[in-house]
Amino acid sequence: MNYTYKELQNGSDIRGVALEGVDGEEINLTQQAVKDLAMAFSQWLQQKTGKEQVKIAIGRDSRLSGPALEQAVIDGLLLTGDTILECGLSTTPAMFMATQFPQSNCDGAIMLTASHLPWNRNGMKFFTKEGGLESKDILSLIQLADTLKESGKPFGSLSKFDLMDLYAIHLQNLIKEQVQADDYEHPLKNLHIIVDAGNGTGGFFATKVLGTLGANISGSQFLEPDAHFPNHIPNPENKEAMESICQAVKDHQADLGLIFDTDVDRSSAVDENGDPIARNSIIALAALIAAKKNPHTTIVTDSATSDELHDFLEQKGMRHHRFKRGYKNVINEAIRLNQEGIDTQLAIETSGHAAFKENFFLDDGAYLAALIVSYALKNPLSKTLNDLKEPLESEEVRIKITNNDFKEYGENVIHEIHKKAEHAPYISFADSTFEGVRLNFDPEHGDGWLLVRMSLHDPILPCNLESKKEGGVETMKTWLKEALYDKTDLDLSVLEA
C-alpha cells in the first residue's frame, strides 16, 4: 500500500498539505495523489453501480489550491471515460445534492475541501447517491489508487454545471414551504439577517437565498471567497469568529445572525440580542425544530454534550442519546436507531454538524440555517431557549501524547483514569459512556463532570470539563493532573492553573 496515500486518510475524508508556506509542513496532497484517488473513486463507483462509465460532479471550496486540484481530478476522470460536471465553487452539501437533483442525476460527487483547516491544507470528500463514503470505503480507494495504471488518451466528457444556483432554489423552496407566508415570493421581508461566511463558500446563502426571499441582509460580512481567510477562521467553534458575528448583530440591531464554516456543512446562529447559539444551544434549537413534527423523537449527539442539555431535551419530551464524537459516527448511530424502529430525526454534534432524517441524514449547514430562519420568523430565539440552562464553567483541554504508539498508550491512560476514579468515593461514573471515560464529581469536589477520550485521528487526549460552581473546573483539572502525574509521555502543562 502507498504509505503517502494512507497518510492522507482522515476518517471518512482525505486531507493533507496542498501548498508550501508553513514551516515544517511538506506537501503530501499532490496533484498526482488527487488524480489517482479520483480515478480510484471512478473505478470503485463503476464496480458499485455496475456501469462501465459513471457521471460524477466535481466542486471545490475557496482555497488557493482548489483550481489546480480540481483540474487534477478532471484529468483523472477523463481517463476513466466518465461524464464530468464541473461545478466550480460549491459547498459540500450541494455536491451531495448533485446526486439527488434530477437536473444533474450524478452517480457520485467529489468535493475538494479541508473544512476550517488552514489555507495550506486541502482534502477530498466523496459521495454516492446513498451519502458520504465510510472510512472503509476510503481505505478501498487508497488501495485502488496504489495499483491503478493510466489508460492513455482521455475519452470522457466534461461540461460546466451551475449547481449552486440550483441548490439555492432548493433552499428557497424549503423556506417557503416552512413559512407558508401570504407573500409567497418574499416571505422574509420582515426579517433582518446577518450572514458571516468567513470568506468561505457560504456567501451565496445571504445573496441567493435570503436576499432573494426579501430579507434585509445589510451588515452581512465576509461573503466573498478569499483563500487566505483574512478576517477570522471560518469555523463556528472559533471564539473570534463567534464574537465577530455576535457584535455585527448587535451593531446592526438584526433579528438573527448565521455563521458557516468554509464548505458549509456546519453552521451556528446568533439570537436577536446578539447572544451566540452554538454548541449545546444549537443542538437544543435544532432539536426543537425536529420535534415540531415528531415531538417524542430521539436526538443523537456526540459525547461531550452538557447534562443541562440532556435535561432540556428530556423535559421537552425528546429522548437524548449520546454517542461517539465524529459527525459520521452520530449520523450512522441515528440511522441504526431508525433501523431498529426508534424514531430518530436528528443527528448533531456540538461542532455544528447537523443531519436531519428528512434531508438524507446529510450534515448540511445551509439546510439547518434555512430551518432556523423559518423558525425565527415566528419565534424569538432568545425566548425559545430560555429554559436551557448552561454550566457555570466549561473548558476543553487537549493533552498531547508523545509516545509513538499513541493510540494504545492513550487507551491505557484512559483505563488507568477509570481505575483511579473507582477508588475516589466522591466520583461516580456516567450512566452511559460510548468513548473514553466520563466522571461525575460531587459538589465538594468540582460539582460537575469530566470526559477524557482519544482523539479520532491525532495523538491527543481531549478532556471536556463542566461545573455548576466557580472554581469547579480547576478542582477537577487538579484531580486529573494528580491522577496522571507519573505519565511521562503526556504533556500535562495544559492542566496548569
Sign of the torsion angle spanned by Cα atoms 407, 413, 415, 418: negative
Q: Is 115 a catalytic residue?
A: yes
Cell numbers at 301, concatenated:
449527539
**What is the rounded CA–CA span in Å between residue 19 and residue 64?**
8
The distance from CA 361 to its chain's CA centroid, rounded to whole angstroms, is: 13
Asked whether the beta carbons of 401 and 489 are under 8 A apart, the reply is yes
Does an H or E element contain 6, and which? Answer: helix 3-7
**What is the rounded CA–CA span in Å between residue 242 and residue 345?**
27
Say which residue the cell 451519502 belongs to: 131
Catalytic hit among 115, 267, 281, 306: 115
The DSSP call for residue 84 is: E
One-letter amino acid at 230 equals P
**What is the rounded CA–CA span in Å between residue 39 and residue 29?**
15
**What is the rounded CA–CA span in Å between residue 290 and residue 293?**
7
The string of DSSP codes covering 443-472 is GGGTSEEEEE---SSSSEEEEEEEESSTTH
**What is the rounded CA–CA span in Å between residue 290 and residue 105?**
28
Cell numbers at 93, concatenated:
452539501
Measured CA distances, 120 to 67, 227, 473, 487 (Å): 13, 9, 35, 34
- Residues recognised as catalytic: 115
